Structure 1
Amino acid sequence: MSLRIVQLDDDPESPFPSIAHALAEPDGLLAFGGDLSPIRLLNAYRHGIFPWFSEDEPPLWWSPSQRAVFRTERIRLSSRRRRALRTSTLVVRADTCFRTVIEACAHLPRPSQGGGTWITGAIVEAYVQLHRLGHAHSIEVFDGNALVGGLYGLAIGRMFCGESMFSAQSGASTIALAALAQRLHAWGWPLIDAQVPNDHTRMLGVETWPRTAYLQALESLLGSEGLAGNWAQCFGEIPAASLATPSAA
C-alpha cells in the first residue's frame, strides 16, 4: 500500500497529496495514516477529501472520481411520502443531541459491510470534537421527546458535507434530509455532498458529478461566509408536515 499511496506524517497541518494521485482502484483512495485532529479533518474536507476506514485499519483518506451531490432545491420525495407527511406530527431540530445521533448512525446495522460500521469510536470522538468547535452538525427528527431519526455532517463554507444518517422510524432519515435541504436552500447554500451514491440517495434525487466539477463547486462555496457555531437556534424547528408540498423541499 505504501508504494502506491502517500502515508501522512504526524503533523496535522501537513498537506494532503494532490487529488491527481488518487487511485482508480479502489476508486479515490489517496492516502493513509495521520490522525483525526480537527485541523487535519477540516483541511481534508476543504480539499474534497474524507476519511473512511474500519476499526482494524489506519485512517484511509478518499476522494472518489465520481461524487454524489444533492441540490438543496431538488430533494425528491415520492407522492406516497408526501401524503404521509401531511398528517405527520414529527418535528426536525438541529444540534440538540449530536453525540446521540452519531452513535445511532454507528450502531445502525449495515449488511453490505458485513454488519460492521466505519463509524468507529475514534470517528465518533473526532466528530464530537468538531461539533463542539461549531463545524459538525446534527439534524434530528423527534416524535414527541423521542429521537427517531437524523443525520450528521460538516459545514465547510456554504457546503454541507453529509456523513451518515439513521432511522428508528420509517422514513425519518429522509425527513431529516428534506428539512436540512429546505433550511440550507433558504440560507443560500446550494449543495449537500453525499460522497458516494447508493440506491437510497438515487431515489431521493442525488446527482453524480465528476470529481473536477465537485471540486470547482466546493472551491466557490469555500469563498463564501458559512455559519459557524451551534445551529439549534438559527435552524429552529421544522414540522415534518411542512415538507409535504413540493416547494417546501
Structure 2
Amino acid sequence: MAGRRGRYYPSITPDVLLRAYSIGLFPMAESADDPEIFWVEPEMRGVLPLDAFHVSKSLRKAVKRAPFDIRFNTRFEAVMNGCAEETSDRPSTWINTTIRQLYTELHRMGHAHSVEAFEDGELVGGLYGVSLGAAFFGESMFSRRTNASKICLVHLVERLNANGFQLLDTQFTTEHLKTFGAIDVPKDEYLTLLKATTESPHLPFP
C-alpha cells in the first residue's frame, strides 16, 4: 500500500470525507474493531477506464443468462455488511463502525450507492462506492454465489457510462481487477483527472 497515510479520530464528518475524496484521499481502518481511521493517498492509483472495460466471453455469457435480479440502492447497509464479513479468503476487514456510519450517511445524502445481486429474494452479492461529480470511487464488493460481484461490476459500468461518468476509481489494482482492464495511474496524473471529474456537476446515479 504505497503512499502517504495519517491517523484521524472518529470525529470526521461526511462533508470532510467528500472533500477528502476530491483531493485524492480515502479512509481505511486497521481492523473492524479499531475505532480509528487513517487517510490513504497511494502513489499509484487504481483506475478502471470506462471506455476500455473488458468482459471475458464466459462472464458475458453469464451476464446474458441473467442469473440474478440486479438492483440499485435498495439494500445499501446490507451490502456494506456483506463486504465486511470475514471469509476464508478474507479473514479480516478494514470496514469498522466509523466507516459504516460515514458511508451510510453519504448514502442518505445521495453520494454513496450500492449495486446488489439477488437470488430468490436473497442478497447474494454486491458492491458499493461513492459518487462525486462525474467520478465514482469503488470501495468494496462481496459474493456469495459464483460471478455475483462480477456481474454487479458489469452493471455498475453500464450505469456509469449511461449517465456520463468519466472516472471509476478502484483505489488499487489487483490481478482480479486487471482482468477487467484496471490500470495503475501515477498520482500527479490521477489528481489532474480527479480535479476535472469532481468539479463536474454532480451526476445522477440511480
Change (3 A) 1:194 1:218: same
Aligned to 1:137: 113
Partner residue of 1:48 out of 24, 37, 42: 24
Report how far residue 142 of structure 1 moved: 1.9
Instruction: Give runs of aligned pairs for residues 96-175 of structure 1, distance below 5 A.
Output: 96-109=74-87, 111=89, 115-175=91-151
1:82 and 2:57 aligned: no
Aligned to 1:5: none
Report how far residue 75 of structure 1 moved: 2.2
Contact 1:36 1:123 in 2 (8 A): no
Instruction: List structure 1 segments (4+ residues) > 6 angstroms apart after TM superposition.
Output: none
For 1:37, the aligned partner's letter is: T
Structure 1 unaligned spans of 5+: 1-25, 236-249
Aligned to 1:22: none
Determine which structure has more spread, i.e. the larger CA radius of gyration: 1
1:212 and 2:176 aligned: no
For 2:99, the aligned partner's letter is: I
Aligned to 1:62: 40
Report how far residue 48 of structure 1 moved: 0.7
Structure 2 unaligned spans of 5+: none
Distance in structure 2 (CA, Å) of the matches to 1:72 and 1:129: 27
For 2:36, the aligned partner's letter is: P
Contact 1:29 1:60 in 2 (8 A): no
Distance in structure 2 (CA, Å) of the matches to 1:223 and 1:77: 30
For 1:197, the aligned partner's letter is: T
Aligned length: 203
Partner residue of 1:225 out of 183, 201, 204: 201
Report how far residue 227 of structure 1 moved: 2.9
Helix, strand or coil: the match of 1:67? strand
For 2:153, the aligned partner's letter is: L
Report how far residue 214 of structure 1 moved: 1.1
Give the structure with the larger strand fraction.
2
Helix, strand or coil: the match of 1:193? strand
Report how far residue 148 of structure 1 moved: 1.5
Report how far residue 91 of structure 1 moved: 2.8
Contact 2:130 2:138 in 1 (8 A): yes
Report how far residue 84 of structure 1 moved: 2.5
Contact 2:127 2:152 in 1 (8 A): yes
Distance in structure 1 (CA, Å) of the matches to 2:173 and 2:35: 23
Aligned to 2:8: 33
When structure 1 is superposed on structure 2, of 64-73 and 29-38 the one drifting more is 29-38
Contact 2:164 2:203 in 1 (8 A): no
1:196 and 2:172 aligned: yes
Contact 1:150 1:173 in 2 (8 A): yes
